[in-house]
Chains A and B, each alone.
Chain A
Amino acid sequence: MKCKLLNVALAALLIPAATTAWAQSKPAAMKLSDNMIKIGVLTDMSGVYSDLGGQGAVTAVQMAIDDFKAQYKPKFAIEMVYADHQNKADVGSNKVREWYDTQGVDMVTDLLNSGVSLAVGKVTQEKKRIAIFVGSGSTRLTDQDCTPNTVHYAYDTYALANVAGKAIVKNGGDSWFFLTADYAFGHSLEKDTSDVVKANGGKVLGTVRHPLNASDFSSYLLQAQASKAKIIGLANAGGDTINSIKAASEFGITKNQQLAGLLMFITDIHALGLQTTQGMLLTSGFYWDKDDETRKFSKRFFDKTKRNPTMVQAGDYSAVTTYLKAVVAAGTDEAGAVMAKMKSTPINDFFAKNGKIRENGRMIHDMYLMQVKKPSESKYPWDYYDIKAVVSGEDAFQPLSASQCPLVKK
């Protein structure tokens, strides 16, 4: 009798607890600050990087939201806002502050410029939201400037240098000369690549630094030519890389020396054509024509934008999906809980293979060493790359033990 009474009492105690637990797993009872998830896409809409993200990034994020709604039928609303950061750190951080303060934005993504990303990371930490950097490359974002509220998703300068740089040195390209864009990203890429070159037994013969958006590259290339280095490393991006490659081919430099584009996107190859770029080695985290999954996504993306997705645009889709899944799993939009879920859940989708987010915010996933095809090997539009090697995330990205991020427990 006594025992029975105890059982009933226990049961009575347990029932409300169980109901709450049950209710929490239902999306309707999710603890959202405003019963809405709002995602901000901060990108370069018309400047030098707008082909990598830009309008395509907005499209990719909208696709991710629509797909998520169709698949998971969440009971809360998901909205998107977007803005142009104009590649200016102050413009970017002001916009994000406004989004957090007055528009209830929960997460910001794309972010094409390392300078903007560093500023946005600080605001995000202060306001306790989440930022996922997809388009920017500096390793500072997960090194000394890491925050508990930010994730670096697609690639970084370390992985770029490590994958392509190592492969080039091993193929006999053991003396380098750098053509470096004179700002944070260029310096970071040059340093990371020099380290890889030296670690693998190569030599760095010199460097010339050029201003961003230089109008002519022939004079820098002439200096690179005089160095007699086997490899001319292009530690720049976008239009600067395109014009360097074009001038190198015009001045006959590619006859005796090889160019290594350290950050090249498929849009750059598309803009230059295979005649000029054939044979180049490069690193990427995504190629639209890799397998059926990537082709399926890219076909849908192409139908909307008339271009195939870049690594950044595909990464935006993946990042937003990862975030939304974590919100549902955590049952809240509170940044700490969502981030904990994101870091504890492996990521495997069409973009990221064997992906996981490390404690410093670095998302590591398989990276690919690509070689640009010869014009004769390209069978259909955008058929540009051969995948030469798949490098696991652990090997491609900086080892956690070398990270200077204070969040990493050593």
Chain B
Amino acid sequence: MTALFDIPIQALMGQLMLGLVNGSFYATLSLGLAVIFGMLNIINFAHGALYMMGAFLAWMGLEYLGIGYWPSLILVPLAVGLFGVLIERSMLRWLYKLDHLYGLLLTFGLALVIEGLFINGYGVSGQPYQIPAELTGGFNLGFMFLPYYRGWVIFASLLVCFGTWYGIEKTRLGAYLRAATENPKLTQAFGINVPLMVMLTYGFGAALAGFAGVLAAPAIQVSPLMGSHLIIIVFAVVVIGGMGSILGSILTGLGLGVVEGLTNLLYPAASATVVFVIMAIVLMVRPAGLFGKEK
């Protein structure tokens, strides 16, 4: 068997592939965070809870209403997005004038409340969500068996990530959004409804989290704790990519997934910390993150 640094090439390829799968989850989640931070300057700690809600809504839809995976992929992000809009309208909007810390505390509290409610209702062991029938089975790639579902995760995440990047960087609506963040007063003076823009942005960020939740539901157990386990890593991804940088969070998400996969192979005990070690190094060298702009 061919080997590289004593590691069979097959194992290496397998881990790289899995790293891409995990990386695409990180990318989708951190993208939502980056959009919200970049546009609203809110550090959205409720993101993990929204992700968990997405997975749970998909499960509930199937369990109580018979809504399958494919409709859920559209409906659940809409529902979570709407919930995000509600949060923004009823609570967050009062905090824009204040320090970032207030938004962080509010969303952190919200995350605890949402999680607590789900634990109370469903327990921590969670609920199983089957992989949709069209995507059971997998490809034999030679070096590993890749379930169709994981392949689909990469494809769907990349599609959504690219769409978001394109929407914000290349379209007129995106330009309005960026203008509204850059100079809200002036933008308003040009006749653009800034509060509406802000509300939609938060809703969109929340919808992205919900979308990642639906994607994750068949792959991992739908449990109230799934968000809090992931959110810290996702925050690290955003910090490394540069707070608020769309492209940064997508590329960093994918990259860190791969780095984590390699760590799993070389020294599994460090796989939980490697992301934070990288974060510390990046912060020392480039405090604004790899793709961030210093202000």
**Partner-B contacts on A (CB < 8 A):** 46-51, 182, 208-211, 213-216, 218-220, 222-223, 226, 238-239, 242-243, 246-247, 250-252, 267-268, 270-273, 276, 307
Contacts and interface: CB of A to CB of B under 8 A. Distances in A.
CB-based closest 3 A-B pairs: A211-B272, A271-B125, A219-B264
A250 B126 contact: no
Contacts of A215: 22, 220, 229-230, 233
Contact of A210 (B19, B220, B268): B268
Interface of B: 8, 10-11, 14-15, 18-19, 21-22, 116, 119, 123-128, 131, 138, 144-145, 147, 149-150, 219-221, 223, 225, 229-230, 233, 261, 264-265, 268-269, 271-272
14 contacts: A46-B124, A47-B225, A48-B225, A209-B269, A213-B225, A215-B220, A215-B229, A219-B14, A223-B265, A243-B220, A247-B219, A267-B125, A271-B128, A273-B128
A251 B147 contact: yes
A219 B271 CA distance: 11
Contacts of A243: 220-221
A220 B230 CA distance: 18
A232 to B, nearest CB: 15
Contact of A51 (B123, B144, B150, B268): B123
B221 A246 contact: yes
Contact of A48 (B18, B124, B144, B265): B124
A220 B125 contact: no
Contacts of B123: 50-51, 267, 307
Contacts of A218: 18, 21, 150
A47 B124 contact: yes
Given A238-B125, A270-B125, 19 more contacts: A48-B124, A50-B123, A208-B268, A210-B271, A211-B271, A215-B230, A216-B220, A219-B265, A226-B8, A238-B124, A239-B223, A242-B125, A246-B220, A250-B219, A252-B138, A267-B123, A268-B125, A271-B221, A307-B123
A239 B124 contact: yes
Contacts of A208: 268
Contacts of B125: 51, 238-239, 242, 267-268, 270-271
A410 B242 CA distance: 64
B225 A239 contact: yes
A272 B265 contact: no
Contact of A220 (B124, B144, B268): B268
Nearest to B222: A271
Given A222-B18, A272-B128, A252 B145 contact: yes
B15 A250 contact: no
A51 B126 CA distance: 10
A213 B268 CA distance: 14
Given A210-B271, A214-B272, A220 B264 contact: yes
Contacts of A214: 271-272
B259 to A, nearest CB: 12
A51 B124 contact: yes
